[in-house]
Amino acid sequence: MTLTRAQVIELLARADRSPSRALGQNFVVDPNTVRRIARLAGVGPGDQVVEIGAGLGSLTLALAETGAAVTAVEIDRHLVPLLRETVEPAGVTVVQGDAMALDWTALLVGGPWVLVANLPYNVATPLVADLLDDVPAVRRMLVMVQREVGERLAANVGDDAYGAVSVKVAYWATAKVVGVVPPTVFLPKPKVDSALVAIERRAEPATDAPRERLFQLVRAGFGQRRKMLRRSLADLVTAEAFAQANIRPESRAEELDVEAWGRLARCSLERS
């Protein structure tokens, strides 16, 4: 069983709470949607799932229904008692905490883990990036984010949404938008559609180039994305390094895939 719109409204009234704009709270209040998300997450008995931003437990219950072992993280201390009341009978472990400051190593014992989350706009990109960088125990993710954010996470060269975060995700993982969620299933209704993005960590990064150097170039290139790379990377990459990497200096940042950025990172160090 999951929560209906009426049940979510009743739980909020009991707590004398309204969805927090500061925390970016938009609760999913449609049982079909949360079951769809659980299905797309591809989890079941034997899987370990961590959910970020569990709220009142609508998605949490759908994940628990699959037979997976679920740990639900919620930052809002006012909602945690209601969340515990709703999901602990289903065997869910509830943790109060800020996902941007958690000790993930202590929380995610064993592994692998699947992360499922309905993420607010202001934390979605940095959180996904940090998890890919620092939490290898998370092997897969299914995140629901604002559609434009989801398109950036999953973008490839040639896509309008392609940018620095697209390269970051592609370095660590493969990503794909697997669904769109309308505003009508949320309380309150956001002004835009949401996207469901499936992210699967690679066995090894997409390139063996030095990571710090690679992302130094990516930040510089996309920081001045209208400029040709010979200008935006003038202090970092020589003409000889461009030639060795087989990349035209007249290219712009959005024309390079992660492997090309890797070649440029290696060659720029060799020629520095």
Q: What is the pLDDT of residue 271?
A: 64
What are the backbone angles phi and psi of residue 170, rounded to the nearest 5°?
-65, -30
pTM: 0.94
Q: What is the pLDDT of residue 272?
A: 58
User: DSSP for 215-271?
Assistant: HHHHHHHHHTTTS-HHHHTTTT--HHHHHHTT--TT--GGG--HHHHHHHHHHHHHT
The answer to whether residue 3 scores a pLDDT higher than 90 is no
Query: In what helix (H) or strand (E) does residue 52 lie, and over which residues does it extend?
Result: strand 48-52
Task: Report pLDDT digits (tens) over 148-204.
Answer: 999 999 999 999 999 999 999 999 999 999 999 999 999 989 999 999 999 999 999
Task: Report pLDDT digits (tens) over 124-163.
Answer: 999 999 999 999 999 999 999 999 999 999 999 999 999 9
Domains and CATH numbers, the chain: 5-201 (3.40.50.150), 211-270 (1.10.8.100)
pLDDT band at 121 (very low <50, low <70, confident <90, very high): confident
The answer to whether residue 113 scores a pLDDT higher than 70 is yes
* Average pLDDT value for residue range 98-121: 93
